[in-house]
Chains A and B, each alone.
Chain A
Amino acid sequence: MKTLCRYTRRMSAFLRRHYVGSRLMNFAVHAAAAVTVLVLGFLVAYIVVRGVPNLKPSLFALQYTSDNQSMLPAIINTCTMTFISLLLAVPFGVGAAIDLTEYARRGSRLTRLVQMTTQTLSGIPSIVYGLFGMLMFNNALQLGYSMLSGALTLAIMILPLIMRTTQEALSAVPDMYREGSFGLGAGKLRTVFFVVLPSAMPGILSGVILAIGRIVGETAALMYTSGTVAKVAGLMDSGTMLALHMYKQASEGLYLNEAYATSVVLLVLVLLINLLSAKTAKLMMKGRG
């Protein structure tokens, strides 16, 4: 008790002495926050101001020609690509994460190896994935420039992300839920699928949404895999995505206005995804908590 008192007294003396310092610190933190918001606000405002006046109905025609620069095919392809990539990556990513957190022994050599691999993989620049995808899927597997090649490449790219977020979500589920389930005579499988996984769902979902964000904004990994053809593409056709479409418009220098218009749509799309994810997470929490 005495030691505690002494400790408290010393602590408050310290705080008094450093009062000015802490005020300064406080200010710095607020300033940093303000700068962040300002930069972001400026960015959005700039894109909106430059882009919105260029949003013409012709930009949403089903057919792209070099005259009307329609982005509708790119929008549709973006949706297709997101869907296929997730379809490929989510089952594997979530499955692997379940295996590692719920089945493999904690801290075993295998888990550590996979941990290290996923960490390394998530640090690799996406152009490397693009080149790998081109060599592997386009050439070796002879898929050519196609949505499938692109989706496979993206799936590999987002796999570590999905695995990591799922693992984190699963580890955050309190052990007392698992014990409660085992205590009622439920087996491992039932416990994982009916108790652990539903509890971890908001976390898993937020990982999937992060992944969607990466897919929608991806260019480098797709340039050499799914290609840049501005047409509504089937699985085996080459088709461009929104971000890549915009990159092409801007880099050619001829369609800068259209590029800004495209970026407005891209921005809105990303915002929508975020909004949707927040809503979904909230809805899921409401069903439980």
Chain B
Amino acid sequence: MNSSNAFEVRGMNLHYGSFHALKNIHLDIPKNQITALIGPSGCGKSTFLRSLNRMNDLVEGCRIDGDIRMDGEDIYGKIDVNHLRKRVGMVFQKPNPFPMSIYDNVAYGPRTHGVKNKPQLDALVEKSLKDAAIWDEVKDRLKKSALGLSGGQQQRLCIARALAAQPEVILMDEPTSALDPISTSHIEELALTLKDQYTIIIVTHNMQQAARISDRTVFFLLGEVIESGETEQIFSSPRDKRTEDYITGRFG
């Protein structure tokens, strides 16, 4: 295992019942970089992302074989799944703040993992909200319901909530697809500032977004990884014809 990689995936296959959703995936995800997963709808991007924090465990009939290692450790071996999910945070496509106060949303992760000390919790909440670039907008209404925020604010709150659990990796599944252009650019800037401290894997439908923010790009098609590499290279000189067709908008 190369220690500059957050994840190393070898010969991974995933089935939903009899449907073969991911086929023989080999992939390295480097630390402290933004990796973009692109590809047409239904090609398995979300499925792949959700297998990195074992969210697919919740899906009945989902079966995974092959090898996925995080820091050399087989994440489908004898590990604590809750601890894995603490280390690998997730931001969902649709902002999903809990129906509780802004403060309680952000404090949920730390409380789950045993932080009870009030000053420590306060500090963590504040830091997370600042890191997610939403502190100024919510600092006077921490006790108010999170559902009163706009969609873009809710998504940044969800990022703050993920950060507060102090993860190493953050998975983002089309985090801006439900947002307006201004909120989208907020989140993109945020991703760029976060990559110094975190490994970020982001699924996106938006080619420009992938080109703008990611260091590496992985192109999925029908459950297979067709091509992966430096984003620059993928977008300027793709090796595979299908990659070129997709990024130039000939299908998708």
Contact = CB atoms under 8 A, between A and B. Distances in A.
A184 B161 contact: yes
A194 interface: yes
A253 interface: no
A177 B83 contact: no
Given A186-B108, A288-B99, A179 B145 contact: no
A186 B112 contact: yes
Contacts of B162: 183-184
Contacts of B158: 180
A35 interface: no
Interface residues of A, number: 21
A182 to B, nearest CB: 6
Nearest to B53: A183
Contacts of B94: 176
A57 interface: no
A187 interface: yes
Interface string B9-49: 00000000000000000000000000000000000000000
Classify chain B: how many residues form its interface, as a range: 20 to 34
Contacts of B60: 105
B89 A181 contact: no
Contacts of B100: 198, 288
Given A182-B55, A183-B90, A186-B108, A176 B113 contact: no
B98 A182 contact: no
B165 interface: yes
A41 interface: no
B96 interface: yes
Contacts of B90: 183
A198 B108 CA distance: 14
Interface string A278-289: 000000000111
B85 A182 contact: yes
Interface of A: 105, 174, 176-177, 179-187, 190, 194-195, 198-199, 287-289
The 6 closest A-B pairs by CB, nearest first: A185-B86, A183-B90, A176-B96, A185-B85, A288-B99, A184-B109
